[in-house]
Amino acid sequence: MRSKTIEILTNAMKGGYAVGAFNTFNLEMTQGIVRAAHDLNKPCIIQATPSTFRYAGCRVIGKVVRGVIEADSNSNLVGFHLDHGKNLDDIMCAIEEAKMDSVMIDASLMSLRENISMTKRVVDYAHERGVAVQAELGKVPYIGREEQAIDWEELMTNPEEARELVELTGVDALAIGIGNAHGFFQERSEPDWERLARIKELVPNTPLIMHGASDWSREKIQKAIKLGVSCFNIDTDNRVAFVTSICQTVGPKCDVTDPRKILKPARKAVYEKVKEKIEMFNGFEVESKAEPTEQVKYQLSDTEE
């Protein structure tokens, strides 16, 4: 199967580094992410959720993201992925309409048996179309949405079950829970590192994905990479960068009439944040090897020539 995403993840797994999977919902966010990967000459994954399909339209966001990737002379660096697909409709939209390279089927709230059966159906459908699949086992909570205190033991990935799910479904990548949570909320005081090592031992050939990584420190990231994580999902950090920039530009008077004057610095803020993350996940050589093509030569900021 030739899926750009799985190629990126497999290279990261073999190379002992990680990549970022960055969420997008519009043109500016997409350009900020793709340009950062371009300028660092490093791979990354760009992803959208079913909520973004509902916000922008599945086919439309697909065309926006594909358009930005294809306009980039380094376009082979970027994979396009469905994040947190929940059902077959999401999967079909992602593959048929948005033309994504890979999909996630998040059946983590189901029982192990149901998760395996749903994941297998998606794998059969997606692989036939050359598209890779990520499953989730264990639960990565959205703490802002949870009402009760979190029982981490209850949520974490069981390594033996992870092996079973991977073997029975043939899934290409696995999202795991070791104390990680979505958003800037309280996570487990220390990730369960032994659990991570055991998962890696039992599924050595499957890239492991860490959701909820926005607030992870450099130290935690490095330890997770050493123990076998190949990809960190980042959404909240970029949303905050985007919105903070908009608030700063707009200011209390709110007298801006050209939206581009607001969106341009917001795009730049995402670009800077993504560069910081890519450097954290994937080393220190930050030299651009390719000039932007004509189409991709939008100015990131007003001070640029």
- Active centre residues (catalytic): 83
d(CA 248, CA 130): 44
Percent helix / strand / coil, the chain, rounded to 5: 50, 15, 35
Residue with tokens 């979190």: 150
Helices 27-40 and 58-71 pack at an angle, to 10 degrees, of 30
Residue 264 binds: one of ligand 13P, ligand G3H, Zn ion, none (C-beta under 5 to 8 A by kind): none
Q: Is 52 near ligand G3H (CB under 6 A)? A: yes
Using the contact rule CB under 6 A, the part of the chain among 4-12, 49-57, 156-164, 287-295 near ligand G3H is 49-57
Using the contact rule CB under 6 A, the part of the chain among 2-10, 55-63, 123-131, 229-237 near ligand 13P is 229-237
Q: Which of 10, 236, 245, 282 binds ligand 13P (CB under 6 A)?
A: 236
H or E element in which residue 23 lies: strand 19-23
Minimum CB separation from Zn ion for residue 182, in Å? 6
Minimum CB separation from ligand G3H for residue 183, in Å? 7
Q: Is 49 near ligand G3H (CB under 6 A)? A: yes
The closest of 305, 298, 233, 232 to 271, measured between CA atoms, is: 298
d(CA 37, CA 268): 13
Using the contact rule CB under 6 A, the part of the chain among 48-56, 60-68, 117-125, 218-226 near ligand G3H is 48-56
Q: Which of 83, 136, 192, 237 binds ligand G3H (CB under 6 A)?
A: 83
Q: Where are the alpha helices (DSSP H) in the chain?
A: 4-15, 27-40, 50-56, 58-71, 88-92, 112-128, 152-155, 159-169, 193-202, 218-226, 236-250, 259-281
According to CB under 5 A, which residues from 195 to 254 bind Zn ion?
Answer: 211, 233
Site for ligand G3H, rule CB under 6 A: 23, 49, 51-52, 83-84, 182, 211, 235
Site of interaction with ligand 13P (CB under 6 A): 23, 83-84, 182-183, 211-214, 233-237
